[in-house]
Amino acid sequence: MPRQGMRLTGWAMALLAGTTLSATAQDTLTVGANIGNVPWEFQDESGEFVGFEIDLVAAVAERLGAQVETVNIPFNGLFSAVQSGRIDIATSSITITDERLESVSFAQPYYDSDQSLTALADGPASLAEMKGRVVGVDTGSTGDMWATAQAEAYGFSDIRRYEGLAPAMLDLQAGRIDGYVSDIPALQYYVRDKPQLEVVERIPTGEKYSMMFAKDAALATQVNTVLDDLKTEGVLAKLHEKWFGVAPDEGSSTVTVLPMPSLD
């Protein structure tokens, strides 16, 4: 799989900057991400990995005096990769759920989201018009879970699963699926310069995104503390403005310090 290393502030620089490093800090953080997940992690015209979460991980690693190695992994493979220790952190607009908390750990959330239905501009205008039609989702995503649970209620004729947004969008434009259910911020960002596509309905799910770790990993607690600082110092708010063009909502998880998620 494609790999990309990014050198960040080293141990000496971190100490000079006043960063306190715990015994759990490490020289390199291996981060798994589903590259192509705009605007969270994708490749720019030069092939560099860019995006909201790429920048966020870089900011976290800098505070820890570490460097980052990003590994491109399909979304559904992130869970086994982090559980097995192949990667230290998983990102890709991953929703915190109680089911996932049974087998992995999350740092505090940093983005509030919902699902959405995207279709051709002259296609289905709502979920109600998806009866008897084919819907696409990302394998193992919360969109997949939602569509599977609601398949009978909305009368989907089939659910087709993809490894990322790009192949799903190709099939949508080719008419092989009629609609695509996925995270609304990614789709709003993707269709902004594509008049042939439209986000036709927001699907309220109350999701919150965060970084994912092996169950009870010490690194999760360490990163959670760094996120406290990045929120209070306004770093996350600036990243939100950079990638979404607007300031985050007051009271959202992007600017509010929150506890680590748990099943307690």
Give the separation between CA 64 and CA 47, rounded to whole angstroms: 26
Residues 164, 229 share a domain: no
**Does residue 3 register a pLDDT over 80?**
no
Give kind and range of the element (H or E) at residue 159. strand 158-162
Q: Give the span between the Cα atoms of 177 and 173, in whole angstroms.
A: 8
171 and 82, same structural domain? no
For residue 86, give every residue at least 6 positions away whose Cβ sits within 8 Å of its Cβ, in sequence order, or none.
Answer: 30, 32, 80
- pLDDT band of residue 2 (cuts 50, 70, 90) is very low
Per-residue pLDDT averaged across 235-253, rounded? 94
Q: What is the span of the domain harbouring residue 30?
A: 3-112+209-244
Q: What is the CATH number of the domain that holds 23?
A: 3.40.190.10
Is the CB of residue 171 less than 8 Å from the CB of residue 162? yes
pLDDT 10s digits, 113-148:
999 999 999 999 999 999 999 999 999 999 999 999
Q: What is the pLDDT of residues 139-194, one digit of tens each?
A: 999 999 999 999 999 999 999 999 989 999 999 999 999 999 999 999 999 998 99
Same-domain pairing of 43 and 122: no
Residues 61 and 148 in one domain: no
Same domain, 12 and 85: yes
Answer whether residue 178 is part of any domain: yes
Q: Write out pLDDT tens, residues 8-47.
A: 333 333 333 333 343 345 799 999 999 999 999 999 999 9
Residues 96 and 226 reside in one and the same domain: yes
Count of the separate structural domains present in the chain:
2
Residue 151 shares a structural domain with residue 99:
no
- Which residue type is seen at 173? Q
Residues 92-112 pLDDT 10s: 999 999 999 999 999 999 999
Is the pLDDT score of 206 beyond 80?
A: yes
Cα-flanking dihedrals φ and ψ of residue 37, to 5°? -95, 75
pLDDT average, residue stretch 228-251:
95
Residues 88, 150 within the same domain: no
Judgement on whether residues 108 and 10 belong to the same structural domain of the protein: yes
| Same domain membership, residue 44 and residue 154 | no
Res. 7: pLDDT tops 90: no
Residues 12 and 76 in one domain: yes
| 250 in a structural domain | no
- The pTM for the full model equals 0.82
